[in-house]
Amino acid sequence: MDNNNPDTPVIFVLFGGTGDLSRRLILPALFNLFLDKQLPAAFALLVVDHNEISMADLTEHYRQGVCDHSRSGNPAEAQWRNFAQFIHSTQLELDQKEGYASLAQQLHSLAESWPQAPQIIFYMATPPALFSVIGQGLGEAGLSSDHLRTRIVVEKPLGHDLESFRNINTILGRYFEEMQIFRIDHFLGKETVQNILAMRFANPIFEPVWNRRYIDHIAITVAETLGVEQRGGYYEGAGALRDMVQNHLMQLLCLVAMEPPVAYDANDIRNKKMDVMHALRPIPYDQVPQFAVRGQYTCGWLNGAQVPGYREEVHVAPHSGTETYAALKLFVDNWRWQDVPFYLRTGKRLAAEVSEISIRFRDVPHHAFPATAGLNAQPVRLVIQIQPEQGIVLKFMAKEPGATLRLRPVNMSFNYQEAFDMPSPAAYETLLNDVMQGDATLFMRADQVESAWQLLLPVIQAWGDNPAADFPNYAAGSWGPESAHDLIARDGRSWLTPTVGTPPPCHNDC
Ligand code: BG6
């Protein structure tokens, strides 16, 4: 729930301010909030880094980041100059007490002339190993003690497994209250993801059929054409399960499966998501292969270009066992969803860039049409398109024009761009604005993250104990490994081709 006045002064303290995340996502988002007049007049961005960097270099580094990554393109000279006045920087040894005392002093001086005490946001755009160090430094310097005016923002990955997540959380929890900790999952800031709740709960027509009686299964696909780019160092220790499933895909599952909230507020929504997490059927260690499969891409062709295999990427071990693809079959054991499978899949270097949730309805109970009419009969499917297409498509059967009775699948579509003649904010804009407003609705609560790790623990352990013998097992530009096909085919179902996507080109000479 909002607990801030939008005019309250804000100091945004950016740890790891010279890193890639800051340049690519945080600065463009702050700049767009500034352009949209969403930043308070009394605002300061205090960039903290262990390296010394001149203000001129820092502002140019950020301006370039905005040019390269902002949805509003190159900033106008005057606008950038006005924004750049907010930027301050400081060098700090993150593991030394004195640094935090001087940070406290700086925060005090920045706000000295402001009419009101500021909200102070500590944003951890650093490697996760530093979350605890910085949290402790801030806490011991007394910088977290004002529970209403200070917040800490942490990015995923929150830990490497259940135990490491608990360690981070215990340390943060020593100095910050849960209401002060904002755990970012940027998928929750996407318009199309937020729209899942609007679609389900602002319309009366979906709820009556949103259950095991009408739904056969749900498939969640987050497919990327990108490889690991320059992030091999991080990705080697993460893999698709930790990088995508533990957070983004679990959040999508919760939004689709949760019960209606009583109120659109942080606690109620997060409680309803937790109910889903509680109801997820545990995966027994000795049955992991029946519920989870993994893949790693080899070289292949994408959009007409040859791309290297994962093991040839920068900072990746030549015999790496890290998965770049993961697919899971999950069940939500409650009255609404008992025995309805939720199939989740995500991977890098797949045939198309597409994220969507496909809700496949049950077949009609009785086929009244003659067999000749329904040769192409397909069960009704509702597709929530998250990206790059943004919208909702209902695929259903219609009569083809003509004297002969023939049925054909057709689409009824809602598309964001067509329906609303206005630009969508980037996910980070929404999320940073919410942090400043103290609205935690779109952030992950500790218990949710913890239960996601708990659910995946047997898979992490089984995969760790049994290195994949068949890696690499899918070609870049394909739809993933054969085992993912088998995972769903064993249930007599199949992954349906996403609503956008180009078939993989037919080359095998890489
Ligand atoms: C990040 C992952 O959280 O999400 C990346 O670390 C992934 O590996 C990215 O590429 C996908 O996000 P988006 O918004 O580009 O779909």
Pairing status of strand 474-475 against strand 381-387: unpaired
For residue 492, how far is its CA from the centre of ligand 1 (angstroms)? 31
First to last CA, the chain: 53
* pLDDT score of 366: 86
Convert 180-202 to b/e letters by CB count within 10 Å (16 or more is b).
bbbbbbbbbbbbbbbbbbebbee
Residue nearest to atom 4 of ligand 1 (CA): 244
Count Cβ atoms within 10 A of the Cβ of residue 255 and give its class: 0-12 exposed, 13-18 middle, 19 or more buried.
Answer: buried
Over its C-alpha atoms, the chain yields an Rg (Å, rounded) of: 24
- The answer to whether residues 261 and 269 touch, using CB atoms and an 8 Å cutoff, is yes
* pLDDT score of 499: 67
Residue nearest to atom 14 of ligand 1 (CA): 187
Sheet holding 341-347, edge to edge: 292-295, 325-331, 341-347, 215-223, 354-361, 381-387, 391-399, 407-415
Helix, strand, or coil (residue 311)? helix
For residue 364, how far is its CA from the centre of ligand 1 (angstroms)? 38
* pLDDT score of 79: 95
Helix, strand, or coil (residue 97)? helix
Q: What is the 3-state secondary structure (H, E, C) of 342-370?
A: EEEEEECCECCCEEEEEEEECCCCCCCCC
For residue 2, how far is its CA from the centre of ligand 1 (angstroms)? 28
Residue nearest to atom 9 of ligand 1 (CA): 244
* pLDDT score of 371: 82
E-strand ranges in 400-468 read 407-415
Active site residues: 248
For residue 170, how far is its CA from the centre of ligand 1 (angstroms)? 27
Residue 464: closest CA among 279, 271, 309, 323? 323
E-strand ranges in 125-273 read 150-155, 181-184, 215-223
* pLDDT score of 396: 93
Among 154, 192, 229, 248, which is best to mutate for testing ligand 1, by the most ligand atoms less than 8 A from CB? 248
Predicted confidence pLDDT, tens digits, the chain (510 residues): 345 667 899 999 999 998 889 999 999 999 999 999 999 999 999 999 888 889 999 999 999 999 999 998 899 999 999 999 999 999 998 888 889 999 999 999 999 989 899 999 999 999 888 999 999 999 999 999 999 999 999 998 898 999 999 999 999 999 999 999 999 999 999 999 999 999 999 999 999 999 999 999 999 999 999 999 889 999 999 999 999 999 999 999 999 999 999 999 999 999 999 999 999 999 999 999 999 999 999 999 998 999 999 999 999 999 999 999 999 999 999 999 999 999 999 999 999 999 999 999 999 888 888 888 876 667 899 999 999 999 999 999 999 999 989 898 999 999 998 999 888 899 999 999 999 999 999 999 999 999 999 999 999 999 999 999 999 999 999 999 999 999 999 999 999 878 654 444 434 444
- Taking residue 440's Cβ as centre, other Cβ atoms within 10 Å add up to 24
* pLDDT score of 401: 95
* pLDDT score of 4: 61
Alpha-carbon gap, residue 400 to 409, rounded angstroms: 9
Distance of CA 94 to the CA centre of its chain: 28
As for ligand 1, residues whose beta carbon falls within 6 Å of it are: 186, 224, 243
Among 71, 158, 224, which is best to mutate for testing ligand 1, by the most ligand atoms less than 8 A from CB? 224
- The answer to whether residues 447 and 274 touch, using CB atoms and an 8 Å cutoff, is yes
